[in-house]
Structure 1
Amino acid sequence: MNHQPLTPNPQAEPADALQRPMQRRSFLRYTSAAVAVTSLALAGCDDDNNDPAETVDVGSGDVGVLNYAYALEQLEAAFYTAVLGGNYYKGLAAGSAEKQVLDDLALHEQIHADFFRKAIPANGGTLIKNLEPDFNSIDFSSRDSVLKAARDFEDLGVAAYNGAGRYLTNPLFLSLAGKIVSVEARHAALIRDLLAYNTFVAPEVVDLFTPTSATSAPGEGTGTGLERSKTPSQVVDIANQFLREGSKLRASSLG
């Protein structure tokens, strides 16, 4: 099969539109459609590698980073699929904001996973196999258990993208990863607001800037004010807690 390489689509995501504030529902629909458009351009390329292995090595270079992202998106997509099949979700009122948030997040994570599944082989890479999750530690009938797990998955995804961007050499891949991580950050904020309103900026996810004193000059203080990042090895150690034997990840070639 002849694959077309990824090409930027300025019509799909105009820069000015990305700068405008959006309502939650409009934002979620917009970002879903934008990534889906790119995914459709790669449709029909299904080259999954399902060979069993003790650990799944994501590889190195740009393809390694994309497989690393694909692994995490697989895990998140599987998590939200389990959420939608659990008693907590089934007990939510139809049309409730909480149910709509979970519906949207489940759709987004599947779109992200499908995107990488098509994009990697379409750009000459070898795709890692389908991973098998292990969510035995999560009680899908409990709101608290589900939302705390969702928060942890979304925070991990943001920190993973933030930490892996430095390893990408293709500027287009870096741009696409930047767009996806912005969606993941909004996911994290939504989940945190469901747990406790207005807690989306927390010290565990943002290196909060603290002035040295009340009379400090601008810029004098500790902390960067930026979102925190994690190295691939740190992320894999956490993600592997939710993957079965034979699906646990190795990212030693990335850093």
Structure 2
Amino acid sequence: MKTETNLETGGVNMARRSFLRYAGAGAAAVAVLGASSCRKSDYYPPTDTSTLPHIDIGTGDIGILNYAYALEQLEAAFYLQVIATPYSGMSSIETSYLTDIRDHEVLHRDFFKAAIGSAAIGTLTTDFSSINFSDRTSVLTAAKLLEDTGVTAYDGAGYLIQSADYLTIAGKIVSVEARHAALISNLLKAGSFADTDQIDQNGLNKSATIAEVLAGANGFLKTKVYATNFNYPKV
């Protein structure tokens, strides 16, 4: 089974004009922030990455948008593969759920590409060789990992966004990602839609740093995504 995927292929033909309109032409005018936007407690000196194949997300709001774009590319590619090669015994309701999630992730991916414009990172190539796409548990476990990671990523990087418009749209996207995460978790284990692995004792979703998220996401990518201006990789 082919598990290496170019994320621009196999797209879904969906009307997305109203969704993309939110981005408008504002992306080109986003204020660029320095590395000082990071909290001092988050600082880790970057390692030398010059000899490694990688893409860097950049700085400021554009960097955070590219960070989200990278994660949405990864999720879109995963669900495109899931629907293209359904696992054994996939029920009609599961097909419906996973197709809806695929469509949302493709919309999110395309939104960020349009919003960032010429400053967007390139198309990423995935490596899903660790996932058995013919096995339900393998697919849903990977889906849970990706969805939970996406939610914690948005929650962990939200404070870095300076544009009120982009902060608003990030909040709307992470809300959808959280719905995905809850559904996938419940498909794996009934009643686990808001389990303690993601929700803390105060009823708040857990968050993760850019370094933590990219360290995991890069396991599914051929060319790694770095955020040196946000101190990843770290030593």
Q: 2:174 aligns to what SS in structure 1? A: helix
The residue type equivalent to 2:55 in the other structure is V
Which residue in the other structure is 1:38 paired with?
A: 19
The residue type equivalent to 1:107 in the other structure is D
The residue type equivalent to 1:78 in the other structure is A
Counterpart-to-counterpart distance in 2, 1:227 and 1:113: 23
Which residue in the other structure is 2:220 paired with?
A: 242
Which residue in the other structure is 1:10 paired with?
A: none
202 and 42 in structure 1: CA distance in 2 versus 1, 3 angstrom threshold? closer
Higher relative contact order (CA 8 A, sep 6+): 2
Instruction: After superposition, give the CA deviation of every residue in 1:203-236 in whole Å (9 maximum; x if it has no partner).
Output: 22111x2xxxxxxxxxxxxxx3210000101100
1:76 matched to 2:75? The reply is yes
Shift in Å, 1:97: 1.4
| Identical columns (%) | 47
Task: Give the count of matched residue pairs.
Answer: 192
Which residue, out of 190, 196, 199, partners 1:203? Answer: 196
Deviating beyond 2 angstroms after TM superposition, the runs of 4 or more aligned structure 1 residues are 40-43
Please say if residues 159 and 228 of structure 1, whose CA atoms lie closer than 8 Å, have aligned partners that are also in contact: yes
Q: What does 1:1-255 align with in structure 2 at a 5 Å threshold?
A: 37-40=18-21, 54-88=53-87, 91-93=89-91, 96-121=92-117, 126-207=119-200, 209=201, 224-244=202-222, 247-255=223-231
203 and 82 in structure 1: CA distance in 2 versus 1, 3 angstrom threshold? same
Counterpart-to-counterpart distance in 2, 1:229 and 1:92: 31
190 and 127 in structure 1: CA distance in 2 versus 1, 3 angstrom threshold? same
- TM-score of the superposition, structure 1-length normalised? 0.71
Please say if residues 88 and 141 of structure 1, whose CA atoms lie closer than 8 Å, have aligned partners that are also in contact: yes
Counterpart-to-counterpart distance in 1, 2:188 and 2:181: 11
Shift in Å, 1:40: 5.0
Please say if residues 162 and 229 of structure 1, whose CA atoms lie closer than 8 Å, have aligned partners that are also in contact: yes
Q: 1:56 aligns to what SS in structure 2? A: strand
Please say if residues 133 and 242 of structure 1, whose CA atoms lie closer than 8 Å, have aligned partners that are also in contact: yes
Counterpart-to-counterpart distance in 2, 1:39 and 1:240: 27
Please say if residues 69 and 109 of structure 2, whose CA atoms lie closer than 8 Å, have aligned partners that are also in contact: yes
- TM-score of the superposition, structure 2-length normalised? 0.77
Please say if residues 54 and 248 of structure 1, whose CA atoms lie closer than 8 Å, have aligned partners that are also in contact: yes
Please say if residues 64 and 157 of structure 2, whose CA atoms lie closer than 8 Å, have aligned partners that are also in contact: yes
205 and 42 in structure 1: CA distance in 2 versus 1, 3 angstrom threshold? closer
Shift in Å, 1:92: 2.8
The residue type equivalent to 2:177 in the other structure is E
Gaps of 5+ in 2: 1-13, 25-51
